[in-house]
Structure 1
Amino acid sequence: MKKYALTFFSIILYACGGNTTETQTDFSNITFTMDTVMVDPGEEIINLRGGLWNSTMNSDYSKLYLWDNQAFTLDIINLDELVLERKVPFEKEGPNGVGPNVNWIDLVDENQILLANFQGIGKFDLNGIKLSHHKLEKDKFEGDSLLEGEIFQRKSFPVAGGSVIYGLLVNPWLSPKVSLSKVDFEAKTIKKMKLPGEEELPDYVVNGNTENISTIITSEKNLQKFGNKLILSSTGYTDLYILDLKNDSVYHVDYSPKLSAKAKKGGYPSEVNTVERLKEIIQVIHGEINFQPLIWDDKNKRFYRFSFETSPMENTDWPLFQPAVLKPLSKLFLSILDEDFNLLGESEVSHLGSVPIYAFVKDGKIWYYVNVDDELGFVRMAFD
């Protein structure tokens, strides 16, 4: 069995001036103490080829569930003990088959999980047994129309034992347009939520059509669940849409940071015909402000949100679809909002050196994923 020593280090970050005392009222000076912890996989290997892209967590963040699309296993990781608890093998085909791949996963409860792909959504127990299967089929649902090729985008959320799913419906091959939707597989109904003021948002779409590539560049939409609320956010602007699951009502909120822009500038060309020009446009888009998903702190009843700008990459051999979070960091900001999404304060935290990804709050600290020599680790940030 591999032995792991806990690496501990401390960094105090000072923002917006030289005062070393944290201002509790406006958060103008935010200080952290940080350490890095590693997960012990025992004799097994945790496949981090896709990072934590295809993962989910339980409600108290005591367990992480990571899908391995190569081995067709579900890794259950105990975050209290920082150990790989077990690997659950799944079948690719047959009565308990998950299909050729898994696009997204989410827990139904502590004993059941959804594994979804283009062919449908399967509900399984944590021994790999399929309990049910749902499929989106055009003309077989009432209510709002299911467009040709629409599927649930990662990430979606089950309620009512998995028979009702809230998520973003999208045709990934034809359009960047997403619809915040509720699908009831038992009642065979679809409800697409109307987003007030959506047409006024500063969004963008760049169509790249070259000899070898056909692609659409647009802002990434993120859907998160906190208690009885779903929050829809974008990488391109501060605006948020809040869906109250109790009554299926949606409302719109936003805020205006003082340290950064509240949205990308836009004005990008709608059509690009060369790879070189496409890379230039992507550099501009990523160099402007990029907003990360919200992080909920249940103990202090507030949200954290990182945002960042990247530096131009001088060479041109970087992968075309390299995400902004992996590019050289220019500036990094942390905004703090109350539970009603009012901005409490913000600070520049570029000293972190990289953008926190797959972040969550556990035990009063912000945790975020790091790959340490192909081993699973987490940086933990404690507010001083």
Structure 2
Amino acid sequence: MHLQTRNTLHFTSLFVVGLTLFSSCGNEAVKQNQSTLNYSIDTVSIDSKDEILFLQRNLYTSDYSEFDGMLYNFNDKTNQVEQINLNTLTVEKVIPFEQEGPNGTGFWTSDLKIASEQQLFLGGERAGIYTLDGKLQHRFDWSAIEKEKGGILAEERVFYQVVNPNFQQQVFAIVVNDHANSVSLRQLDSSDNFIQSYNIDPNENYKTYTLGDLSNYNKWDPRVNIKSVRDHIIVSHEYANDFYVLYPEKDSLISIQYDAPNLPSKVTPTTEGDLVNSTEDRKNALKNYRSQIVYGHLVFDNTNKKYLRLSASIDYGEKEREEYLLPEIDKSTLYISFFDENFNHLSDQEIPEIKKSGIPKYFIKEGAIWMFLNSEDEMSFVRVQF
């Protein structure tokens, strides 16, 4: 069941199922826009084989592996990893992980990334690289590095972490300094017990878009994306389009800023309301920011040899969502931006058929963007093929 579903797009219809992305009948459709860029859109669903898949975090703690065509999704309720075959659209198996003991992951896991063909990186309380049968291969301990070698300060915290298959002894992280309200990129090299720091926020986007009171840590952080792509690490910001590329082998960091004719380069911050103390005013500020633009991370399309990035402007309705800070999305406008292999901005393409998604979890598989869709508590994906 649910092996594959293809939906025709009726370009004038309103969509009301799942994330309210698509109409509900027919076959694959192809549309040609004014810039003569052709694309097709369809949807597919995963056969869960009676497993209850973990969708509560919208696949945030998951990663697609180009090595084997699998999606690995971490279930933080059971401390298991769901291995999902995206070639057959079925659950392959569920991999249990220990929380305690020599192979233990700890009691909270914030990141899952592909470490190699047969290994996963789990970041969190006890970050490390594990085999696909749950055995620890290598531990990364940020707290073990002395301050003289770049160790983490008391007022700092490791936020998001990634590894790159080309650099097995290294882990990369966004580190937040709560006193300075700043972020930096850190590289922990476990071969020489040293942490290197890089400035990936010279424009202070993190501070600009933080809402709250720094004196008591009562603040809402803007998202900073960190991704391992090919042989480098890319860091980008939620409310600004500049991004930063680290080449670990060369110890080289470059910054990329570009002009997009149809998209703002950054959000205009608001000063209306009590953004320190009032939850309602903070929510209104977030709605204001997201109605302007919100930027996703960059991914690389090996088929077409281009980088792609999703962005969206989002308008929220009045209906509250359980476990969500903001109400249901009333409407959104989704864009895909294209860059060449040297990060030169090429174009931006609106995808008007996708009306209410915001920016879901997404990745590239065989030249198509796969975007997560929770369809009545079933794992599905919207696919855009160029």
Within 5 Å, give how 1:77-92 maps onto structure 2: 77-92=84-99
Aligned residue in 2 for 1:184: 189
Aligned residue in 1 for 2:301: 297
Question: Quick one: structure 1 residues 141 and 366, their matched pair in 2 at CA, closer, same or farther if it must change by over 3 Å?
Answer: same
Q: Give the % identical residues.
A: 24
Match of 1:135 among 138, 141, 144: 141
**Shift of residue 141 of structure 1?**
5.4
Match of 1:10 among 8, 11, 16: 8
> Quick check: 143-152 or 89-98, which moved more?
143-152
Q: Is residue 35–residue 380 contact of structure 1 (8 Å, CA) maintained in 2?
A: yes
**Shift of residue 123 of structure 1?**
2.8
Mapped to 1, the partners of 2:348 and 2:47 lie a distance apart of: 35
**Shift of residue 369 of structure 1?**
1.0
Match of 1:224 among 217, 222, 227: 227
**Shift of residue 97 of structure 1?**
2.1
Mapped to 1, the partners of 2:81 and 2:118 lie a distance apart of: 13
Q: Is residue 294–residue 312 contact of structure 2 (8 Å, CA) maintained in 1?
A: yes
> Quick check: 244-253 or 258-267, which moved more?
258-267
Aligned residue in 2 for 1:368: 371
**Shift of residue 284 of structure 1?**
1.4
Mapped to 1, the partners of 2:343 and 2:131 lie a distance apart of: 36
- AA partner of residue 333 (structure 1): Y
Aligned residue in 1 for 2:173: 167
CA RMSD, aligned part only? 3.0
Question: Quick one: structure 1 residues 366 and 206, their matched pair in 2 at CA, closer, same or farther if it must change by over 3 Å?
Answer: closer
**Tell me, what secondary structure is at the counterpart of 1:328?**
strand
Mapped to 1, the partners of 2:118 and 2:67 lie a distance apart of: 15
Match of 1:124 among 119, 122, 130: 130
For the pair 1:106 / 2:109, whether they are aligned, the reply is no
Residues 229-257 of structure 1 show CA distances to partners (whole Å, capped at 9, x for unaligned) of: 21111111111111112201011111111
Mapped to 1, the partners of 2:138 and 2:312 lie a distance apart of: 42
- AA partner of residue 104 (structure 2): G
Match of 1:258 among 249, 258, 261: 261
Mapped to 1, the partners of 2:324 and 2:33 lie a distance apart of: 39
Question: Quick one: structure 1 residues 38 and 82, their matched pair in 2 at CA, closer, same or farther if it must change by over 3 Å?
Answer: same
- AA partner of residue 347 (structure 2): G
Which runs of 5 or more residues in structure 2 are unaligned? 13-30
Residues 257-312 of structure 1 show CA distances to partners (whole Å, capped at 9, x for unaligned) of: 11121110125369422222222222212221111112321111112222221225
**Tell me, what secondary structure is at the counterpart of 1:282?**
helix
Question: Quick one: structure 1 residues 321 and 248, their matched pair in 2 at CA, closer, same or farther if it must change by over 3 Å?
Answer: farther
Q: Is residue 159–residue 165 contact of structure 1 (8 Å, CA) maintained in 2?
A: no
Match of 1:275 among 276, 279, 294: 279
Q: Is residue 138–residue 148 contact of structure 1 (8 Å, CA) maintained in 2?
A: no
Q: Is residue 36–residue 377 contact of structure 1 (8 Å, CA) maintained in 2?
A: yes
Matched positions, count: 365
Residues 150-208 of structure 1 show CA distances to partners (whole Å, capped at 9, x for unaligned) of: 4432232145774311221235x66642211111123111110234x813659614443
TM-score (normalizing by structure 1): 0.84
Mapped to 2, the partners of 1:373 and 1:177 lie a distance apart of: 39
Q: Is residue 156–residue 168 contact of structure 1 (8 Å, CA) maintained in 2?
A: no
- AA partner of residue 38 (structure 1): S
Aligned residue in 1 for 2:347: 345
TM-score (normalizing by structure 2): 0.84
Mapped to 1, the partners of 2:81 and 2:363 lie a distance apart of: 20
Q: Is residue 202–residue 237 contact of structure 1 (8 Å, CA) maintained in 2?
A: no
Which runs of 5 or more residues in structure 1 are unaligned? 15-19
Mapped to 2, the partners of 1:356 and 1:70 lie a distance apart of: 24
**Tell me, what secondary structure is at the counterpart of 1:281?**
helix
Aligned residue in 2 for 1:17: none
- AA partner of residue 249 (structure 1): S
**Shift of residue 215 of structure 1?**
3.2
Q: Is residue 170–residue 176 contact of structure 1 (8 Å, CA) maintained in 2?
A: yes
- AA partner of residue 336 (structure 2): L
Match of 2:238 among 213, 235, 239: 235
**Tell me, what secondary structure is at the counterpart of 1:198?**
coil
